[in-house]
């Protein structure tokens, strides 16, 4: 952690200092992260330079199996581990696309990147909790019951995380509402950046599910012309490198 805190990614060091409530001295996590300070430190270039080691704390605390079953190799654990890996890749991709969109729209890049990284945290935490129960009971929940559990539990687990980590109110608000695209939002530029960043992430990760017409329509609502949209898609090489490193 010390190396990270003294590194060039100042915005991420601040984030990791906040997240050490899970993995390090609690004193580093008692003060709230100030969005204006994050904005002063975060740049698009620093987003592109992110290394997975810098995000280890976030993944270990949210997007991995809980410590009690992390070494478990059963099929039950492995299936949920794969789901968490997919959510992690989604979070990384969305973060990079959304940050670029926020910079274009004049929104807060730091708040957008932070919210995008955490936008699937509730589902990830609920998946991890479900994995623990399944391993303990040696049985896997059926798909409809799993979907119901994730839907009911994800939001409350994110709220608990937000309180524990003292996440900025802006980040919490965006994570709560990013899927309500087109409705009035307290942080419209950042929320729309996370929403469309997620759309582009899914296009990259799951092209077979992608609907070009729907993407074009969403881009038009954000006043992104074809040239600008392709420029944002130009983040793909950096994202792909990050995802390849993620495995």
Sorted by where each begins, the domain ranges of the chain are: 2-246
Residue 126 confidence (pLDDT): 96
User: Which of 110, 102, 108 has the alpha carbon at shortest distance from 46?
Assistant: 110
How far is the C-alpha of 119 from the C-alpha of 92, rounded, in Å?
Answer: 10
Which pLDDT does position 245 carry in this prediction? 82
| pLDDT, tens digit only, all 247 positions of the chain | 222 223 333 444 444 444 433 333 333 333 444 545 555 445 556 666 666 666 777 888 899 999 999 999 999 999 999 999 999 999 999 999 998 898 888 888 888 988 999 999 999 999 999 999 999 999 999 999 999 999 999 999 999 999 888 888 889 999 999 888 666 677 888 999 999 999 999 999 999 988 888 888 888 888 888 888 888 888 888 888 888 887 6
Amino acid 9: pLDDT: 34
Question: What pLDDT score was predicted for residue 165?
Answer: 82
SS3 letters across the chain? CHHHHCCCCHHHHHHHHHHHHHHCCHHHHCCCCCHHHHHHHCCHHHHHCCCHHHHHHHHHHHCCCCHHHCCCCCHHHHHHHHHHHHHHHHHHHHHHHHHHHHHHHCCCHHHHHHHHHHCCHHHHHHHHHHHHHHHHHCCCCCHHHHHHHHHHHHHHHHHHHHHHHCCCHHHHHHHHHCCCCCCCCCCHHHHHHHHHHHHHHHHHHCHHHCCHHHHHHHHHHCCCCHHHHHHHHCCHHHHHHHHHHHC
CA distance 115 to 99: 10
CA 64 – CA 71 distance, rounded (Å): 11
Q: Domain 2-246 class? A: mainly alpha
Question: Quick one: pLDDT at residue 29?
Answer: 39
Go through 100-132 and write b for each residue having 16 or more CB atoms within 10 A of its CB, e for each that does not.
bbbbbbebbbbbbbbbbbbbbbbbbbbbbbbbb
């Amino acid at each position: 952690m010390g190396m990270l805190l003294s590194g060039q990614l100042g915005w991420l060091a601040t984030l990791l200092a906040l997240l050490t409530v899970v993995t390090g001295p609690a004193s580093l996590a008692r003060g709230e992260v100030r969005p204006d300070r994050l904005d002063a430190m975060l740049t698009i270039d620093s987003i592109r330079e992110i290394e997975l080691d810098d995000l280890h704390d976030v993944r270990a605390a949210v997007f991995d199996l809980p410590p009690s079953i992390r070494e478990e190799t059963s099929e039950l654990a492995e299936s949920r581990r794969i789901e968490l890996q997919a959510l992690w890749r989604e979070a990384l991709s969305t973060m990079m696309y959304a940050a670029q969109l926020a910079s274009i729209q004049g929104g807060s890049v730091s708040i957008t990147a932070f919210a995008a990284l955490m936008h699937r945290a509730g589902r990830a935490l609920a998946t991890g909790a479900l994995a623990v129960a399944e391993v303990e009971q040696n049985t896997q929940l059926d798909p409809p019951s799993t979907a119901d559990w994730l839907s009911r539990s994800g939001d409350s687990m994110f709220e608990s995380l937000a309180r524990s980590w003292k996440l900025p109110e802006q980040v919490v608000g965006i994570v709560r509402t990013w899927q309500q695209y087109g409705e009035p939002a307290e942080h419209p530029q950042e929320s729309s950046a996370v929403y469309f960043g997620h759309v582009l992430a899914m296009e990259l990760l799951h092209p077979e599910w992608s609907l070009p017409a729907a993407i074009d329509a969403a881009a038009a609502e954000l006043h992104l012309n074809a040239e600008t949209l392709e420029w944002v898609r130009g983040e793909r090489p950096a994202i792909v490198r990050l995802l390849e490193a993620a495995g």
